[in-house]
Structure 1
Amino acid sequence: MSNSQPSLILVLNCGSSSIKFAVFPVDADPLPRTPLWNGKVQGIGEPAPNFGESGVEPFPVELDAEHPHTAALQFIQERISKRLDGRRVTTVAHRVVHGGSRYWAPTLVTQQMLDDLRSYIPLAPLHQPFPLKAMGLLLEQRPDIVQVACFDTAFHHSLPKVEQILPLPYSAWERGLRRYGFHGLSYDYMSHTLPERHGDLARGRTIVAHLGSGASLCAMQNLESVATTMGFSALDGLMMGTRTGSLDPGALLYLMEVERLSLEEVGSTLYNQSGLLGVSGISAEPRVVVKHENDPGEAGERARIALALYVRRIVREIGALTAVLGGLDLLVFTAGVGEHNAFVRERVCRDLAFLGIKLDADANTINAPVIATTGSRVRVALEPTNEEWIAARCTQKLMIAG
């Protein structure tokens, strides 16, 4: 590579309403955890999308109403081009939610792989289509750029078979129906940063709570995934912002057989109309719902029960994973809700007091790195996640190896 044109890795995290990006140097060793710059277009498909990046206040952007994701990608490309200053983007890393049973390791993007990954769209319809759209556009527009897909399912490849298999006829396992697990880039980052912060304690019985608009838990031993709450799809496990989490399949049969909902209507209900939003009728965001807990009448009652159910599901699943681990040494909160909602952490830890958890209220209020008292039997911590760094690091290692 030419010294006059240092090469860069562009990491893209494409979602249904936002596209995040981060730029890292290809040749840095070790790879810095803070990107050279990063930003995002958010509100894609909504009336007032905006763009923000490091060092720049968010500002409105106009996107083609018929092709807003394509327009947002083009806008990001233009912003990056203005800041290259003689450097070149030679590699693009994509966060891809579902790799199925075929794709675990970071993989070079080809048209054949894109065709394979499209078959997993029904398993993650809120996430899977959008990185594939970005890959397809770049294959057409910039075939000179190397693209790498980094999979959220990959970290859970270490799950034992008893955690992967579904209680369906065995032929379902042979066809690839299994529990895959998600948020793997986030949990992969924890496997790197937690031992730095907490030493050998992190190699013991650890549960990481990735709580965002999507949410899951991962039980880790020796920094590997041994159990997780999301399964075959990104609907499983915890109650989320607009998703149900675990649900009696009999309820789905009832919706279809008795209430005559179509397959599409059931899908929309499970993914977009349930969770905190569906129960509260207010918002998918806990910080918004909590403001209505003291409202009079039904509004307040729905806000209270929505948050109580949200917390109960987290507590129930932490208890189940603690049983699988045979105890708990370290509980870690991460992602948007986990990192910034002190009242959610307080309520979860309150209901886990039987494990010997003792919360430091002051530390919790200021989002300190450790929020348990010194007398707590379980250390409770906050750790910001860094999925973009993991994607860049995996891509860098693949390019060196290749």
Structure 2
Amino acid sequence: MSTQLDTNRIPAILVINSGSSSIKFAVFDDSDLSELVKGQIDGIGSHASFKVKSPDQRIQEAITWPLELAPQDHSAALKIILDWLHHDLSHIQILAVGHRVVHGGPKYFEPVLINDAVIHELESFYALAPLHEPHNIAGIKAAREVFGDVPQIACFDTAFHRSQSFINDTYALPRAFYEEGVRRYGFHGLSYEYINSYVQQYLPAYFGKKTVVAHLGNGASLCAIEHGHAVATTMGFSPLDGIPMGSRSGQVDPGVLLYLMQYKQWDAQGISDLLYKESGLKGLSGGLSNDMRTLEASSAIEAKEAISYFVQHVQQEILSLAAVMQGLGVVIFTGGIGENSIFIRGQVMQGLQWVGVEVDERANLGDAAILSTTSSKIICLRIATNEELMIAKHTHNLSTALLTCSVDA
């Protein structure tokens, strides 16, 4: 468990977030968790690109490979990242590696030290998150090969939601399904946990209030938080549920899927591709784009209708979550769309004026944290999320605790 410390180098934590065709990474100083660099490799297996930025957003590395030279799997991509760290950040020493793992199943409520038994158990969750979990585990295996005895910590996107009550955690199916793991797990938990901790530290006047956080991006969900704990969320058994996303459908009547199977003879793969890859904003816009920026810039009626559908469903879910809490005091926008789209935030807030939201138009146009007026009954905030920092904190805390236990023993 111990790592020999090199006093000539900066002790650091590496955070890895492995997606289906990308690996995001960030490096943090272990002493104060300040960010040293952040980067990613996109397009693994095709026309891959590599970009690294410093905390002030200066580009330190930018590479786009031709197809024949691009990394073809996660192991190859991670090796490129680690080679870059070795040569360009030779003054740092990785003390621990933190991994984002989308699904922790019904067991994992908090970060855990990764070993062979944990990996084996996480592999049993592949059916719960088939498009995410295998890539998360591939990143873990690749990092273990490189770093040997350096502690590897798994941090789960589902963990924050484990405080939900049974009523908000289950479906109206026979209870045997709940016992075998068919539950409303929720996702984006690391983002919600970060926002919750940020409010507690920097905006304490709003902490503990009945709050809905809207994590709006290519993947999107909302979460009700009361007294600092998750109460309910829009995503359920999979990252498909809830509001429409970039190319994911969001909530769909199960009867539609039965129709496709019984009368159109669609198989599971065809339905999976439809729900994950061809629906959401992309499907609603007639295939125009899954990117909200493109839709906002378009004059096509399909783009406008896709935006209106998205906005209305965000509003619906905010009020649905408020009903669970029997009140609403704060709405927080985060994620790529929530943080950056002035138009979407404005549309959502304007549609909530009848329940007490008063929009500060000037604040919404700028970088202000508070988007509502001082007389607004419901406070609206804009907070940039930082999942990587949340993972770094967990990794630092758990690896330090493990090292302390090792020394004491």
TM-score by length of 1: 0.93
Distance 1:185 1:119 in 2: 22
- Cα RMSD over matched residues? 1.7
CA contact (8 A) 1:41 1:49 kept: yes
Q: Which runs of 5+ in 1 are unaligned?
A: 295-299
Distance in 1 of aligned mates of 2:145 and 2:187: 29
Task: Check the 8 A contact 1:332/1:381 in 2, yes or no.
Answer: yes
The one-letter code sitting in structure 1 at the alignment partner of 2:368 is A
Superposed CA deviations along residues 160-200 of structure 1, whole A, max 9, x for unmatched, are 11111111101001111111111111111112111233323
Aligned counterpart, 1:79: 84
Distance 2:393 2:74 in 1: 26
Aligned to 1:40: 40
Matches within 5 A, 1:126-137: 126-137=131-142
Structure-2 separation of matches of 1:314 and 1:146:
40
Q: Give the structure 2 partner of residue 56 of structure 1.
A: 59
Q: Give the Å deviation of 1:90.
A: 2.4
2:248 aligned counterpart, secondary structure = coil
Deviation at 1:66, TM superposition (A): 7.0
**C-alpha distance after superposition, 1:340-377 (max 9, x if no partner):** 01111111111111111111112111232111111211
Distance in 2 of aligned mates of 1:66 and 1:85? 23
In structure 2, what is the equivalent of residue 297 of structure 1?
Answer: none
Alpha-carbon distance between aligned partners in 2 of 1:399 and 1:90, rounded to the nearest angstrom: 8
What's the CA shift string for 1:79-101, capped at 9, x where partnerless? Answer: 11123334321211000110101
Alpha-carbon contact 1:342-1:367 (below 8 Å) kept = no
Q: Is 2:293 the partner of 1:287?
A: yes
Unaligned runs of 5+ in 2: 403-409
Aligned-partner residue type, residue 292 of structure 2: P
CA deviations 1:25-74 (Å, max 9, x no partner) are 23x2xx33x41221122233443524232232662332755724332211
Q: Distance in 2 between matches of 1:149 and 1:271?
A: 25
CA contact (8 A) 1:123 1:234 kept: no
TM-score normalised per structure 2 = 0.91
Which one is further off, 174-183 or 4-13?
A: 4-13
Q: Which residue of 2 aligns with 1:376?
A: 376
Structure 1 residues 52 and 310, CA, compared in 2 at 3 Å: closer, same or farther? same
Match of 1:386 in 2: 386
Give the share of equivalent positions with the same residue, in percent. Answer: 40
Q: Residues 120-179 of structure 1, C-alpha deviation per residue, up to 9 Å, x if partnerless?
A: 223323322222101112233432221110001111111111111111101001111111
Q: Is the 8 A contact 2:78 2:142 kept in 1?
A: no
In the TM superposition, residue 270 of structure 1 has moved relative to its aligned partner by 0.6
Aligned pair count? Answer: 392
Q: Secondary structure at the match of 2:213?
A: strand
C-alpha separation in 2, matches of 1:252 and 1:103:
31
Of stretches 371-380 and 263-272 in structure 1, the one that deviates more from structure 2 is 371-380
Q: 1:254 aligns with which of 244, 259, 266?
A: 259
Q: Is 1:7 aligned with 2:40?
A: no
Q: Bigger shift: 81-90 or 214-223?
A: 81-90
Task: Give the structure 2 partner of residue 17 of structure 1.
Answer: 21
Match of 2:405 in 1: none
CA drift of 1:331 comes to: 0.6
User: Which residue in the other structure is 2:107 paired with?
Assistant: 102
What amino acid does structure 2 have at the position aligned with 1:348? V
Q: Which amino acid aligns with 2:290?
A: A
Q: Residues 273 and 122 from structure 1, CA distance in 2 versus in 1: closer, same or farther, beyond 3 angstroms?
A: farther
CA distance in 2, matches of 1:335, 1:196: 20
Q: Is the 8 A contact 2:215 2:221 kept in 1?
A: yes
Counterpart mapping for 1:231-270 below 5 A: 231-270=236-275
Q: Is the Cα contact below 8 Å between 2:46 and 2:72 reproduced in 1?
A: no
Supply the distance in 2 between the matched residues of 1:193 and 1:175 (Cα, whole angstroms): 35
SS of 1:44's partner is coil
Query: d(CA) in 2 for partners of 1:325 and 1:349?
Result: 19
Q: Deviations over 1:282-314 (max 9, x none)?
A: 11111101222x3xxxxx221122111111111
Contact map agreement 2:243 2:250 (CA 8 A) in 1: yes
1:274 corresponds to:
279
